[in-house]
Amino acid sequence: MSAMEKISKTQIDRLGDRFKKNTISDADLKMLDEYRRSFGPAYEDVVGRIRQEIHLEPTGRPAKSTSSIIEKLHRESIRLSQVQDIAGCRVVVADTENQDHVITLFRDVFPSASVVDRRIRPSYGYRAVHVIIESFGKLIEVQVRTELQHGWAELSEKFSDKFDPAIKYGGGDTEIQKLLGIISDTVQEYEEVEKEMSFIQKNNPKALKDVRGRLLIHKKKITDIINKHINLTKEKRKP
């Protein structure tokens, strides 16, 4: 058993409190680094089961960076032991129908997992479904996104990296926040129409082809808008 495994939840939370109060030592930094690295086996277990039992290929990271953890502790009213995304991965699917199906598979494979549906309550425009899985006593967060949800998240990330990290959390430039809000609302409207497709398929199958065609055109327009702004973030800013 490693030294980290012997540390209690209370000790972990006290460590987090010291970071919140900025009363930290070199030993605290080392302990936090060891704590985040201790998520590796749980991460590998979850990713392996997703590959073997759900037959999807997730992308992700075995441990959030130390600086990101510290920033989250300062930003949110949360204990260190409660942070659910120290390690996590992501699965991107085509649309909401596939997203709902994948969530069902996750519930079957990980019956004790909790599901947070951020499509119902978006976080600063961010929309996805998060599955929180416990493995080896550690919480692993799996983000299940549609292609459009993922595109929006990538755009938000690019804006945050280029202009202001606060953008991801509802801060920063108001015009950028307005743009992200408009795109998020448009994605939500698109997905609401997607959900109506099953009803149309059952009640008016002849109209299905036309509706699907219009949806594809609309999806391309949203994707083009997202990609346009992502490309703009890559351009050199004028002085």
* pLDDT per residue as tens digits for the range 187-208: 998 998 888 776 776 666 666 6
Q: Quick one: pLDDT band at residue 5, thresholds 50, 70, 90?
A: low
The dihedral of CA 28, 34, 37, 41: what is its sign? negative
For residue 169, is pLDDT > 60? yes
Residue that the structure tokens 């959900």 belong to: 195
Q: CA-to-CA distance for 198 and 206, rounded, in angstroms?
A: 13
Question: One-letter amino acid identity for 189?
Answer: E
Please check whether residue 119 is in contact with residue 128, taking contact to mean a CB–CB distance below 8 angstroms.
yes
How confident is the model at residue 238, as a pLDDT? Answer: 44
pTM of structure:
0.85
Of the candidates 57, 146, 16, the one whose C-alpha atom is nearest the C-alpha of residue 93 is 146
Cα 4 to chain centroid, rounded = 27
Question: One-letter amino acid identity for 233?
Answer: T
Q: CA-to-CA distance for 105 and 170, rounded, in angstroms?
A: 32
Q: Which of 72-81, 156-165, 216-225 has the lowest mean pLDDT?
A: 216-225
Compute the average pLDDT of residues 40-65: 93
Residue that the structure tokens 């204990």 belong to: 79
Say which residue, 157 or 211, is predicted with more confidence.
157
Phi, psi of 47 (to 5 degrees): -60, -40
For residue 210, is pLDDT > 90? no
For residue 105, is pLDDT > 90? yes
CB atoms near residue 211 (< 10 Å): 16
Q: Quick one: pLDDT band at residue 16, thresholds 50, 70, 90?
A: very high
How confident is the model at residue 205, as a pLDDT? Answer: 67
How confident is the model at residue 171, as a pLDDT? Answer: 93
